[in-house]
Amino acid sequence: MMNDYLLLILLAAIASSGLIIKHFSRTNLTTVKEFILGIVSFNPQEMPSEVMFIIHISLVFLLFIYFPFSKLMHSGGVFFSPTRNQVDNPRDRRWVNPWGKAPENIEIASNMTQDEG
């Protein structure tokens, strides 16, 4: 239960710091791009020195560290769900199990003739 609140607070902090960077503190995007591309290509560049960017990237890295141990790890299971492979058949016809007894109202309806109905 507490993990849920921790995750929500972390996501809200990441979103808030991102909005603050976008609208108020204005980080230099070329230095951010060089820094991120350096991390991805294993050629680290100098980290931008803006305080809000450091807070934001630290929170994102904290989320990456927390991700495998949280409920967020289950989100990948949607791609392995058996319901994704089922045929889209929204009960076009009624299936009755061979061992099941048909309901009485269906038996009566099937025995009715054109005159009675």
Asked, for residue 95, whether it belongs to a domain, the answer is no
Residue 10 confidence (pLDDT) above 70: yes
pLDDT tens for residues 35-81? 999 999 999 899 898 999 999 999 999 999 998 888 888 887 777 77
Asked, for residue 46, whether it belongs to a domain, the answer is yes
Q: Where are the beta strands (DSSP E) in 22-97?
A: none
Asked, for residue 43, whether it belongs to a domain, the answer is yes
Asked, for residue 87, whether it belongs to a domain, the answer is no
The span from the CA of 5 to the CA of 90, in Å, is: 37
Asked, for residue 100, whether it belongs to a domain, the answer is no
Asked, for residue 92, whether it belongs to a domain, the answer is no
When pLDDT is averaged across residues 23-32 and rounded to a whole number, the result is: 88
Question: Which of 116, 12, 2, 114 shows the shortest CA–CA distance to 63?
Answer: 12
Residue 101 confidence (pLDDT) above 80: no
**Residue 116 pLDDT:** 52
The span from the CA of 13 to the CA of 26, in Å, is: 17
Please give the tally of structural domains in the chain. 1
Asked, for residue 52, whether it belongs to a domain, the answer is yes
pLDDT tens for residues 81-100? 777 666 666 556 666 677 76
Asked, for residue 83, whether it belongs to a domain, the answer is no
Structural domain harbouring 43? 2-70
The span from the CA of 30 to the CA of 2, in Å, is: 38
**Residue 95 pLDDT:** 66
